[in-house]
Structure 1
Amino acid sequence: MMDSNDSETMAVVKTRLASTASLPGSKPSSRERNVKQAEKLKQNAHNPKQNREHNKTMNNQAQDDADIACCGRCSQTCNDGDRCIQCALCDTWYHARCEKIDDSTYEVLKKDGERPCPLIHFYCSNMCNNAASKFLGNFMKVEKEIKEMKAEVNQVVTQVKSIESGEFTEEMKTTIRDIARVEREAGETPDSKCDVAEIEERLKRKQNLIFFNIDESSAAEAKDRIEEDSKNILKVLEKIDVENCVDFEPPTRLGKKGEAPRPLKIRFNSSEACSRILKSASKLKGTKIYISRDMTPLERREWKELLEERNRKRQEALEKGIEANWVIRRGKVVNAARGERQPIKGHADSK
């Protein structure tokens, strides 16, 4: 328990502490500072305008601090009156003296930098200069290689177009002749398909198609007959429903005129058009008209041999009671029947 003297002593101490805290020059306690800050925030919360002005002031101060550029070499401020230049790669500012740029060079860079699209770029000596030089060197090297590749591609395209049109370069002809000569020296019979003239002739005919059983015109004038043949060809193309295949040269009748209509040879603008027409030619089934490729004499002999082989195998399959479907594909006779070969029902050999 405290006596009366102790109580008086404590009262004096509290009074002195209170008076000391209220002195103008005394340092406020942490508790008082927190209380004042809370009161200020509370006042700002009830005064939105004052709160916005306070935030705007703080943001402006932060922006001003961020806008102050420092030299990437000496770390000193780059003021408006200083001769400073910005790296085009890392965007860091440098004093011209720190980068050892003389006045005349600086003026050239400054004047060029005023262009909408500067032609001269500055790269700092820290790392960007070496990196930019290496990058630009590699870029120019790649650009050169791309130009060379484009030239080679254009050359290949030109050669392909020449081959499609039936034109061979002297180098190609020499290569084919060398192949035939090596085969003769080896005691082998040169393949007639490798003959330069045969290859050229086949390529020339790739854009041709032969239309059979198209009625001939009885017009007296040749131009009238050609015009009527062209109209008949357009009707056939419309019937088989092919697109972008209506461009062709004036048709030509093959052979001497007789009782039956002579075949019509048509040259189209591309071999792709011929391929599309042949794929749709099956739509002519049930009519007397049919379409064929324009084959060379050698191709016609080969085709005749393939037909004979196909018919022979079909006859053998029929005699043996084997279910098969022998067809000509890619220059060969193949069995297109699905599943295993089985005896035909009703045949004498079937069980």
Structure 2
Amino acid sequence: MVKDMAKAVCCEYCASWYHTRCEGISDEVYKFLNAGGDQIHWFCKSCNSKALDVMKLVQGLKERNEMLEAKLDEVKGQVEEIALVRGSFAEKIREITREEVQEAKEKELRECNIVISNIKETDHGAAGDPDQEPVTDNGIVKQLIHNVLGASDVEVVSTTRVPKVKKQGETYNRKLVVKLGSVNQKHKVLRIAKRSRDNDDWQGVYINPDLTKQERKKDYELRSELKRRRENGETNLILSRGQIVTKTNAGASFLHRGHSPAVS
């Protein structure tokens, strides 16, 4: 028991008071402990090793906590990055969906159309002949389809020059976008389009399907590949239904270097 006025120190671990003499504390050390206040910590002999163990444990926990916080910050950064990627991916999906919807609309608008190139632009009739009908794009297209190609049952719904307006000084003949009565009529005209080559008056006039921007890009890439392969020595190559195929002597097409066979 420590009496009042006796020199004693308190163990900060067990909170017990001890005589300085019992703990072997000199007067100088006692004065130093008192002068240090809260900045100096003292443990009794029995608690000293325990206190050191606790301090080591606390230090270890502190270090592990710092490592855990660093790891959490890393995970947080990864989660934020994933969220950004996910948002970007979702936006890309929406963009692709919009493009596909727009492409479908464009195809639907063009499903009955053909494009005719190199027809001279004119909307005038024969001079001084009031009985002759004006020579219009619509009339010329009907003459080509009904008389030259022999498809008198095909309905010509409308004809439109593209682009709608020429730039000043341009003299080329704009292409004609022609809307026909049905998809079947369009396919019929495309099947017999080569007949115009047998007529001297229609040399250089070409009939093609009305393609969307994406379809035109794909068609350009296919034709570029066809040209490259022909220049590399490959022969009997043709384009058929969006494929590059090899044409046999019998006129049949077969699978060529990984390309799908043409649909007949």
Q: Over alpha carbons, which structure has the higher Rg?
A: 1
Larger RCO: 1 or 2 (CA < 8 Å, sep 6+): 2
Q: Report which of the two has the higher share of helix.
A: 1
In the superposition, the TM-score normalised over structure 2's length comes to 0.49
In the superposition, the TM-score normalised over structure 1's length comes to 0.37
Q: Report which of the two has the higher share of strand.
A: 2
